[in-house]
Amino acid sequence: MGGALLEKGLEKIGLGVNPSASGPGSEAGPQQAHFTALDGSVRVKKALTGQTIEAAYNVALEKNDVIQTGSEGIAKIVFADGTSYSIKPDSLIVVQDNSVDNSQRINVEVQVTTGTVDLNTPTIRPGSSSRVTVAGAVATIGSDTAAQVHNDPRTDEHEFLLKKGEARVNRDGQEEKLTDNEKLVFKQDQPGMVKTKEIAPPILVDPPNTQSVLLANDNQQVLFSWSEIPNVKLYHIRIAKNPYFSSTVLDTKVQSPQVKIQHLGEGTYYWTVQSIAANGRESADSEHNRFQIVFKTGDDQADLALEIESLVQYGRVIQILGHTEPGAHVFVNGQSVAVVNADGSFSHFTGKLEPGENVITVTAQNSKGRVNTKTKKVTIQ
């Protein structure tokens, strides 16, 4: 009975049995979203109590809750259908809907009151919906879609940018369809919306996301490379010590899709690249990838502790419990584990796995660049 209760709890935050699968899925009714990444100042105003609290990984997000990021705050939240919202600094969003009906159709709707968000949708089940509203305009987002939404009431600037996929935007009876790299802009005091074709951002290649770069010293160069975009005049690369790029260590424009940089000290860095067209217009940011620079020392070859202590199955979700060196970073199937405790212990829930045999890959990495990887096989019935 205890396992059944935990399963229901996991379903409520979108971690339980896949609603798209046959058989019973999430219990009908309101669902909870949850944070998967937090940095800087992020606050939540709870609709039920009216209280404003600090965001935390154990804070469940419900209908009409308000999430606000500060000038150096970012957050990522995931909804019951797998839709994710990455909230940029100085933004405020409202969870307007996150529910499942008796036919297991999931409805997600978010209002971007001010600021900027990046959103990604999974494959959306027929009859389900994922919507985002901005200044009275409603965008219905398609499956496997990536978009950026911007709302600035002070300057009356309102934008929908489709990076990939498709969406339909309706405002005052006018409907526009968006596909890859198309943008809609409008002003509240003016009728209509203007659609333009935007240049695509590059795909980042090196350094690989979440990986360490081992250097002999800070005189050694680090190669940054990305995919080449046709008809591009320049590329705008930025490297920062924080994920919100409030203070950059490099901000420059180059002609080729690669550049070598030296004198980067040890530590964690974030980088992004934009394409610049011949007319000077810049694309949206590429992904904001993270990497770590580590200087080689004499004990680089020493083993890094990593133990997978147990795998606990809840429907199609696996909880990984393990232990590593204090201060190390842990990744499960390429996804960063949000919290590694001071003693090195960690717990992580996978997403919903496919039926059949699945491989769970756990990687630990410390500040000296040492890495240890272990794998386990699990079978989902």
Q: What does the pLDDT profile of the chain (381 residues) look like in tens digits?
A: 444 444 444 444 444 433 333 333 456 667 778 888 888 899 999 999 999 999 988 898 999 999 999 988 889 998 878 889 999 999 999 999 888 888 778 889 999 999 999 999 988 888 888 999 999 999 999 999 999 999 999 999 999 999 989 999 999 888 999 999 999 999 988 888 999 998 889 999 998 887 778 787 778 889 999 999 988 999 999 999 887 787 789 999 999 999 999 888 888 889 999 999 988 889 988 888 888 887 766 554 557 889 999 998 888 888 899 999 888 888 887 777 878 888 999 998 888 788 888 888 888 887 766 778 888 888 887
pLDDT at 27: 64
| Residues paired with 365 in a beta bridge | 329, 371
CB 372 within 8 A of CB 303: yes
Cβ atoms < 10 Å from Cβ of 261: 16
Rounded CA separation 9/338 (Å) = 19
Rounded CA separation 92/68 (Å) = 4
pLDDT at 26: 53
Cβ atoms < 10 Å from Cβ of 107: 19
SS3 367: coil
Helices (H), the chain: 2-12
Residue 360 sits at φ, ψ, to 5 deg, of: -100, 115
pLDDT at 28: 65
Domains and CATH numbers, the chain: 12-197 (2.60.120.1440), 204-295 (2.60.40.10), 306-380 (2.60.40.10)
CA nearest to 282, candidates 342, 208, 207, 229: 229
CB 80 within 8 A of CB 121: no
CA-angle at 87, arms to 195 and 71, nearest 5°: 110
pLDDT at 95: 93
Separation in Å, CA 227 to CA 66, 199, 278:
37, 13, 18
pLDDT at 19: 37
- β-pair type (34-39, 74-78): antiparallel
Question: Which sign does the torsion angle of CA 210, 214, 339, 55 carry?
Answer: negative
Return all residues near 198 (Cβ < 8 A) that are at least 6 apart: 161, 181, 182, 183, 281, 283, 284
pLDDT at 302: 57
pTM passes above 0.85: no
